[in-house]
């Protein structure tokens, strides 16, 4: 998906820092 | 200095009653105990003091304690409910509860709003969105011209900022995420449904005779 067609929050939500799933990975 | 540290080095669920936590969250008692196993592992990764520091939180997310990231920092600050600079077990469970698949949608919307309201002004402001976008671009090593960034923000505010005051309030955010439900995907962790399977060792440390479902 081209970044310009996404809204800002869709892009932001791809940050690894927001991915709490990694808390559960050892 | 003596050989013994007089401060308690770990916090057990006994200090925070798992039954009480379970009664106030979507977790069962067994799940609270399993979360304690996860908490113990994260909170002892740098200093075994029964509390999660920012460094330990970042280490758990990135597997790299030196990695600074505004989003992980912001989540840490929101998890640090008591504003002590560390996350205790009670904060940890109550905050993760928002990410439970069964948690109320309005709690997820509220948390995500506070997450993006970096300066806690009660509004997601244009400069905050720009700051987050630039941080995301740096993190993903993606380069976009400033005018492209401005175009993305313009488009986003056109859709989200209904009263055109250059900031997004909670009602506008509720409206925006209802039209863009994928934005709330990060607010649900399916893993939380299977937490007892992921951390089976809780059984050995359980104080509960019968599993309370």
Give the mean model confidence (pLDDT) for residues B37-44. Answer: 94
Query: What crossing angle do the helices spanning B146-160 and B126-139 adopt, rounded to 10°?
Result: 130
Distance separating alpha carbons of residues B69 and B96, to the nearest angstrom: 19
pLDDT, tens only, B99-111: 999 999 999 999 9
pLDDT at B113 over 50: yes
- Measured between CB atoms, does A1 come within 8 Å of chain B? no
Angstrom CA distances, B70 to A9, B39, B108, B178, stand at: 15, 22, 20, 25
pLDDT, tens only, B4-13: 444 444 445 5
pLDDT, tens only, B18-32: 999 999 999 999 999
Q: Is A15–B135 a contact, with Cβ atoms under 8 angstroms apart?
A: yes
Kindly report the nearest CA distance between residue A19 and chain B, in angstroms: 7
Structure ipTM: 0.89
The pLDDT value given to residue B38: 93
Q: Is B180–A19 a contact, with Cβ atoms under 8 angstroms apart?
A: no
The rounded percent of chain B whose pLDDT value lies above 70 is 88
Identify the band that residue B197 occupies on the pLDDT scale cut at 50, 70 and 90: confident
Count of pairs with CB atoms under 8 A, one residue in A, one in B: 91
Chain B residue numbers touching A10 (CB-CB < 8 A): 180, 182-183
Chain B residue numbers touching A23 (CB-CB < 8 A): 38, 42, 60-61
| Residues sharing a CB contact under 8 Å with residue B206, sequence separation 6 or more, in sequence order | B30, B33
Q: Is A18–B75 a contact, with Cβ atoms under 8 angstroms apart?
A: yes
The pLDDT value given to residue B91: 96
Strand stretches in B66-176, DSSP E: 124-125, 167-168
Q: Is B129–A8 a contact, with Cβ atoms under 8 angstroms apart?
A: yes
Interface of B with A in 131-150 (CB under 8 A): 132-133, 135-136, 139-140, 142, 144, 148
Dump the DSSP string for B12-51.
Answer: -TTTS-HHHHHHHSS--HHHHHHHHHHHHHHHTSS--SSS
């Amino acid at each position: 998906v081209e970044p310009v067609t996404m809204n800002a929050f869709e892009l932001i939500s791809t940050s690894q820092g927001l991915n709490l799933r990694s808390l559960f990975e050892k | 200095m003596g050989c013994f540290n007089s401060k308690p080095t770990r916090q057990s669920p006994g200090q925070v009653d798992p039954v009480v936590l379970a009664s106030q969250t979507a977790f069962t008692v067994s799940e609270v105990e399993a979360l304690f196993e996860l908490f113990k592992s994260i909170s002892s990764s740098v200093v075994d003091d029964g509390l999660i520091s920012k460094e330990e939180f970042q280490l758990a997310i990135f597997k790299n304690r030196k990695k600074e990231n505004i989003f992980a920092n912001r989540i840490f600050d929101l998890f640090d409910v008591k504003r002590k600079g560390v996350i205790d077990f009670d904060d940890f469970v109550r905050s993760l509860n928002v990410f439970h698949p069964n948690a109320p949608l309005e709690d997820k919307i509220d948390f995500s709003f506070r997450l993006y309201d970096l300066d806690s002004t009660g509004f997601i402001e244009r400069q905050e969105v720009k700051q987050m976008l630039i941080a995301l671009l740096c993190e993903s090593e993606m380069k976009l011209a400033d005018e492209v960034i401005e175009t993305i923000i313009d488009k986003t505010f056109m859709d989200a900022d209904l009263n055109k005051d250059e900031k997004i309030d909670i009602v506008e955010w509720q409206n925006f995420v209802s039209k863009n439900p994928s934005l709330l995907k990060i607010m649900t962790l399916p893993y939380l449904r299977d937490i007892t399977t992921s951390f089976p060792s809780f059984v050995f440390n359980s104080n509960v005779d019968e599993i309370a479902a």
